[in-house]
Amino acid sequence: MTAVALQMEPGPTLVDDRVIQALAAPPMYHQSAEFAEVMDETCELLRRIYGTAGEVVVLPASGRGAVESALASADHVGRTLVVPTNGTFGRMMAAIGRSLGMRVVELKHDSGQPLAVSDIKAELDRHDRPVLGVVHNETSTGMVNDLAEYADLVHRRDGLLLVDAVSSLGGTAIDFDDLGIDLCASAAQKSVGAPPGLAFVAVSERALGEIEGRSRPPLGYYLDLLRWWDQWVPLEKRGRLKSGYRRLPWTMPTNLVVALRRALELTAEEGIEQRWDRHRRSGTGLRAAMAALGMRPVAPPGAESDTVGAFRLTGVDAPTLRRGLAQRHRVHIAGGMDGDAATVIRIAHMAESARPGPLLHTIAAIAHELNDLGVRVATDPTQEFLKAWCAE
């Protein structure tokens, strides 16, 4: 029998067997009362991990679709999208804004370098009603960007704060309401721990007011967030229900929603703070193990992600290492993005991969491959992982 591959790429990530089992239920009619109950329960569980009392829109899309939906739905006419970029997904957000015809100012930083808050403030002060787009967890570099100061900076210019939390939601603390975020995009297949195919956008009252009062129709129809309020949100929760009754604006992939609900139920059972702690300890342990193997994070100290590790190699070709892991150990990790494909490896520690079992398996396989490539390691990296894990 062929061994099952261990998928340690940063999404789609490992999924709990109980979530996979939920996929096997017969499909529901997406406009049925039974599925409406499932959908409402799912949205309530999403509100908890976002840290919001407001509305969370569920989209049959990817995380990229959620970012595009947020930008396309807001009143974009005459507005500038300011995107500080220090990795691939920040640059992608800027590209999405350009594709929608927005004026985009990209504040370029080197990959893996902290965002310069003073530069962001100076740029926002040049614009009226800007949209500030920030990637919370830059998956390409394994780096987290602090969100604490940005809401005040953009709100005093009567603007909106858009956050890409695609790879952080569920594995890293996000308090949507307390941070003053206006639009926060994420997806099912990363730290939330569900299969791919669904995305979400949390929407603040400020953002909803701008979406409702936009001066022109949105760019496109399918991803228009306002349709959620027009057709689905109950009247007592500020819905509009133009047809007179609740009706989902999209044909939802009902099995994926059922699986997502199960993943969110498991998060609630674990406890969100305990889940964040598990991801943090996994990241600390992985970095200790990689240090024993002679690798250092791309992210600077103190800014390392709790959900994905990106490590720079010296003297070893990343594609060769990855190929050996896949062929001889059935362990799959990701390479670096853009110009880092030959020198960087990326390993997920999100959802079910943020546990000692899969991480120790991965670390041992990497050590074996490095030994075959002539790299001698004096310290056992699995022991370094366990020491760091237990010390946290």
pLDDT in tens, 89-111: 999 999 999 999 899 999 999 98
Name residue, tokens 């730290």.
191
119/124 Cα distance (integer angstroms)? 9
pLDDT, the chain, mean:
94
Alpha-carbon distance 204 to 102, whole Å? 21
What angle do helix axes 33-50 and 254-270 make, rounded to 10 degrees?
Answer: 40
- How far, rounded to the nearest angstrom, does the alpha carbon of residue 118 sit from its chain's CA centroid? 26
| Nearby residues of 242 by Cβ (< 8 Å), 6 or more positions away | 230, 231
What CATH number does domain 17-268 carry, 3.40.50.300, 3.20.20.70, 3.40.1160.10, 3.40.640.10?
3.40.640.10
Query: CA-CA distances (angstroms) from residue 172 to 86, 134, 204, 242?
Result: 19, 15, 20, 37
State mean pLDDT over 173-177. Answer: 95
3-state secondary structure of 322: helix
Residue pLDDT, tens place only, 138-159:
999 999 999 998 999 999 999 9
Residues tagged in the binding site annotation for substrate: 346
Q: Which residue has the tokens 């530069």?
A: 119
Residue 361 has a pLDDT of 97
Give 6-10+271-391's CATH code, choosing from 3.30.70.1170, 3.30.56.10, 3.30.70.1450, 3.90.1150.10.
Answer: 3.90.1150.10
Of 302, 318, 253, nearest in space to 112 by CA: 302
**Over 114-175, what HEC string results?**
CCCHHHHHHHHCCCCCCEEEEECEECCCCEECCCCCHHHHHHCCCCEEEEECCCCECCECCC
Task: Report domain extents, the chain.
Answer: 6-10+271-391, 17-268
Q: How many residues does the chain have?
A: 392
- CA dihedral for 207, 151, 146, 121, sign (positive or negative): positive
Bridging pattern class, strands 137-138 and 143-144: antiparallel
* Nearest by Cα to 138 from 161, 116, 118, 163: 163
> Other CB atoms closer than 10 Å to residue 237's CB: what's the count?
10
Beta carbons of 100 and 216 less than 8 angstroms apart? no
* pLDDT tens by residue, 286-299: 999 999 999 999 99
Q: Which residues touch 126 (CB under 8 Å, ≥6 apart)?
A: none
Q: SS3 for 177?
A: helix
> ω into residue 12 within 30 of 0, thus cis?
yes
Could you list the residues known to form a binding site, using ranges.
Answer: 346
Q: What is the pLDDT of residue 392?
A: 67
Mean pLDDT computed over 215-243: 89
Q: Is the pLDDT of residue 1 over 50?
A: no
Amino acid at 154: V
